[in-house]
Amino acid sequence: MYVAARGWLEVDHEQRAAAEAVVASARHDMYSGGWCFPARPFNWSLCVFYGGDIREESVSWLREQVEQLARLTAVDADGDLPVGFFVLTDEWGTVVAWEIRDGAVHEREAPELRWVHRD
């Protein structure tokens, strides 16, 4: 079964190299192409995106990366950790949300987001 995975994480510009290293260390020939970093910095937010259809057994591959990204060390006195949101839908119409905050990935069923599932 395939799972449509799409989402983003907001990290500090100074965390970019560490975020890219996380993604590079988990290289997958088929699915790593779903990661997207902005071509050049602008303003104060750096959003890292993922989007793609992956096999169900590869969801753990993606989740491990998101968990590592969530734990990136804060780089300023504010202590801000990465934040973000992912929506995953499968071929059965199951919808799951990953909320990235407080250094962790919090997973929950999200039937209210069923509208993002393409039948």
C-alpha span between 117 and 78 (Å, rounded): 37
Instruction: Point out the residues of the chain with pLDDT beneath 50.
Output: none
pLDDT (0 to 100) of residue 33:
95
CATH number for the domain formed by residue range(s) 2-116: 3.30.70
pLDDT (0 to 100) of residue 7:
98
Strand bridging mode 104-109 / 83-90: unpaired
pLDDT (0 to 100) of residue 41:
78
C-alpha span between 5 and 26 (Å, rounded): 17
Average pLDDT, the chain: 93
Q: Which residue has the tokens 């006195």?
A: 77
pLDDT (0 to 100) of residue 118:
75
Q: Please say whether the dihedral angle defined by the alpha carbons of residues 86, 88, 94 and 98, taken in this order, is positive or negative.
A: negative
pLDDT (0 to 100) of residue 17:
95
**Where does residue 19 rank: exposed (0-12), middle (13-18), buried (19+ CB within 10 A)?**
buried
pLDDT (0 to 100) of residue 82:
96
pLDDT (0 to 100) of residue 53:
96
pTM: 0.93
Q: Which residues contact 54 (CB under 8 A, 6 or more apart)?
A: 2, 3, 5, 30, 31, 34, 61, 62
